[in-house]
């Protein structure tokens, strides 16, 4: 049956419409799949924008270089590393301290004083008084005999220094010579009498006689400071950090290593009777550059490189020691002369009684006369 054009058109339209309806259905399916994919992508995007979850952190951690290392182990290793560094630093610091101490010891030994400027003590009243103190102490403690300073070595130390070569010794000799002008300028022709009175100690290791505090002692301190500057200007390592305290040492434990093992401290009661004793005055007249290490002189005084003399004693006037020595010689000569005269007189008397030359001559003359008489007969 033939279709009418309208129906045919409608039918064709229906066929076309079905085709067109089919196409949108296919498009809807594709859109649905795209939406699903888009939704999944959105969800992934949203998940990536959310705060890091555990699995996200794990994934990030997996990309780090210490993925196989436990955090606690890492902290322990870090702590151990720090401890190791601290120990190493401590060992290094300890080694540096030890090396520093060794260097300091070496430096101290290198610059340990071996020379000094001495003010010699020559007044026999002072040396005799000190000898009396030493004897009294030894009577109470025989061990301290090793700690005593010989009377010939008694001095006041003005300045200590380290001289490492003959050249430095020569420079020090020159510095001492230069000091004479400055010392004379300070003295201005005045006589300086140093009064020694009373006994004190340094940490019960050293016993010494004090210098009485007066204008003369103050002047001595000024001289010491002036000499120190002169030596230092010459490049000599001279002087000490502590203030200058003039004193006369007569006893010290350091003189004997064996003694220091036996006696740790000197009992001050051993010299109680002399604590305020007046020993006498020493006239300032000479300074010596002395060696601590070279052999001492026969009288016990230190080896002397050079000296400067000033004041009254550099004139012809003899000092107390010289006067005592002179009077001793005069007495000895007088006694010797008297003894010789006595011996001569005694010998003459014995000759006269026992067959002296005069008696022998008389006997010979008598025998000769008798012989002449016989011949005449």
Domains of the chain: 115-309 (3.90.1140.10)
- The whole-number pLDDT of residue 242 equals 74
Using the predicted structure, report yes or no on whether residue 146 has a pLDDT greater than 80.
yes
Give helix 215-233 / helix 166-187 axis angle, nearest 10°: 140
| Rounded (5°) CA angle 265-147-296 | 145
Q: Tens of pLDDT along 155-192?
A: 999 999 999 999 999 999 999 999 999 999 999 888 99
- The whole-number pLDDT of residue 121 equals 97
Separation CA 190–CA 312 (nearest Å): 9
- Name the pLDDT band for 229 (thresholds 50, 70, 90): very high
End-to-end CA distance of the chain: 249
Q: Are 169 and 186 in contact (CB under 8 A)?
A: no
Q: Under DSSP, is residue 135 helix (H, G, I), strand (E, B) or coil?
A: helix
- The whole-number pLDDT of residue 87 equals 56
Separation CA 127–CA 43 (nearest Å): 113
- Name the pLDDT band for 334 (thresholds 50, 70, 90): confident
**Please, where are the H alpha helices in 50-70?**
54-62
Q: Tens of pLDDT along 35-81?
A: 566 566 555 555 544 444 444 334 333 333 333 333 333 343 444 44
What's the token pair of residue 74?
């890492």
Mean pLDDT of the chain: 75
More confident residue, 72 or 217: 217
Residue 144 DSSP label: G
Residue 243 DSSP label: P
- The whole-number pLDDT of residue 92 equals 60
pTM, two decimals, is: 0.57
Instruction: Give the mean model confidence (pLDDT) for residues 101-118.
Output: 72
Using the predicted structure, report yes or no on whether residue 338 has a pLDDT greater than 80.
no
- Name the pLDDT band for 14 (thresholds 50, 70, 90): very low
Separation CA 264–CA 266 (nearest Å): 7
Separation CA 82–CA 325 (nearest Å): 80
Signed CA dihedral, 362, 367, 372, 377: sign only: positive
- The whole-number pLDDT of residue 360 equals 46
């Amino acid at each position: 049956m033939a279709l009418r054009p309208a129906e045919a058109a409608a039918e064709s339209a229906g066929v076309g419409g079905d085709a067109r309806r089919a196409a949108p259905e296919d498009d809807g399916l594709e859109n649905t799949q795209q939406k699903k994919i888009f939704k999944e992508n959105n969800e992934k995007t949203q998940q990536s924008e959310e705060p890091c979850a555990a699995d996200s952190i794990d994934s990030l951690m997996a990309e780090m270089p210490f993925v196989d290392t436990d955090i606690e182990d890492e902290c322990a290793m870090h702590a151990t590393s720090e401890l190791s560094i601290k120990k190493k630093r401590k060992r290094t610091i300890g080694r540096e301290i030890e090396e520093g101490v060794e260097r300091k010891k070496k430096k101290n030994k290198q610059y340990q004083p071996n020379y000094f400027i001495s003010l010699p003590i020559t007044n026999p009243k002072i040396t005799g008084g000190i000898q009396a103190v030493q004897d009294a102490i030894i009577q109470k403690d025989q061990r301290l005999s090793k700690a005593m300073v010989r009377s010939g070595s008694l001095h006041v130390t003005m300045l200590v220094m380290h001289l490492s070569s003959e050249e430095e010794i020569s420079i020090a000799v020159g510095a001492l010579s230069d000091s004479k002008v400055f010392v004379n300028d300070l003295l201005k022709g005045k006589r300086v009498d140093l009064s020694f009175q009373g006994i004190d100690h340094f940490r019960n290791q050293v016993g010494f006689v004090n210098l009485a505090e007066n204008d003369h002692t103050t002047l001595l301190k000024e001289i010491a400071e002036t000499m120190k500057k002169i030596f230092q200007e010459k490049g000599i390592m001279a002087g000490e950090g502590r203030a200058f305290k003039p004193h006369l040492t007569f006893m010290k434990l350091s003189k004997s290593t064996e003694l220091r093992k036996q006696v740790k401290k000197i009992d001050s009661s051993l010299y109680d009777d002399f604590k305020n004793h007046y020993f006498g005055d020493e006239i300032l007249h000479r300074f010596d550059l002395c060696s601590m290490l070279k052999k001492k002189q026969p009288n016990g005084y230190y080896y002397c490189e050079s000296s400067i003399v000033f004041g009254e004693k550099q004139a012809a006037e003899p000092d107390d020691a010289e006067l005592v020595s002179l009077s001793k010689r005069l007495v000895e000569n007088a006694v010797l002369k008297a003894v010789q005269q006595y011996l001569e007189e005694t010998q003459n008397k014995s000759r006269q009684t026992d067959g002296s030359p005069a008696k022998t001559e008389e006997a010979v003359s008598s025998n000769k006369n008798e012989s002449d008489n016989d011949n005449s007969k």
